[in-house]
Amino acid sequence: MSDNEDFAVGFIGLGNMGAPMAHRLLDWPGGLVVCDMRPEALQPFADGGATPAKTPAEAAEQCGVVSVVVLDDAQVRAVVAGPEGILRTAAPGTVIAVHSTIADATAVQLAAECAERGVEFVDAPISGGAPAAQRGGLAVMVGGSPAAFEKVRAPFSRFASMLVHAGAVGAGTQMKLARNLLHFIAFSAAAEAQRLAETAGLDITELGKVVRHSDSHTGGPGSIMLRDTTDPVEPGDFWFPIFSHVRDLGEKDLSLALELGQRLGVELPLARQALGDLGTGLGVGPGHIAKEKS
């Protein structure tokens, strides 16, 4: 057993996400301690060799790292700082890792409370869903000190294939919120595309298959997120001809989609905004089609 695996890991919250994450820690060299309000959630882990705990405080007194996967800010506060919370028993040097998506301000406040006890706090939201957790393929965005990041690296690597040290406490949550902003705006755009296709008499289940197939090859929206700044792209920059080409294709196709929507009587507000914003967002400015339509 290496030095960074000689501590027990606690896991609080064994729901749809927490259970598959914790399952991958069952053979953690230092041992796994689990806590959940539901006895039926604890039993499979106890059968697998984990130590059940009745409260977060009971779990924390045995562990060097405690992961938390509960519903919201209120539950996180209760688990960390409540009467039977982790801070009641956590030893100095313990790292509390919250994987729930909470407010970044909540993370900063809890980190300050933890620091008073000599305990480290990291906000470590996750991306990828339960299937990724089951196969150890999650992305984890960590906000916290370099020392805390190093301590959680080994246990987190059991359920994640990508670990990003986003910055200080709160940065992990901020990165997750930016990632999910893209996710849910894309869902709204998908709904708009389905309305257009359905009104045109197309099979929208087949459209969905095409989208998933093509995105698996192109990478979807992430395929343009390759620069380290959102500043305008200078004409001599490597990216200028690439993003100008993307803009020109995008403006053409968005314009054609808007013309189709107008003929069919389908409002496409996201497409209209995208036509005006695409070139500027890419950093190369609007193309001739966007300028003509403005």
Cite the active site residues. 176
CA-to-CA distance for 214 and 229, rounded, in angstroms? 27
Residues constituting the chain: 294
Q: Find out whether 128 and 137 touch, Cβ atoms under 8 Å.
A: yes
CA-to-CA distance for 183 and 181, rounded, in angstroms? 5
Phi and psi at 32, nearest 5°, equal -120, 130
Closest C-alpha among 84, 87, 80 to residue 118: 87
Is the alpha carbon torsion for 40, 16, 49, 32 positive or negative? negative
Tell me if residue 66 falls in helix, strand or coil: strand
Q: Token digits for 114?
A: 């933890």
DSSP 234: P
Report CA 11 to chain centroid distance, whole Å: 19
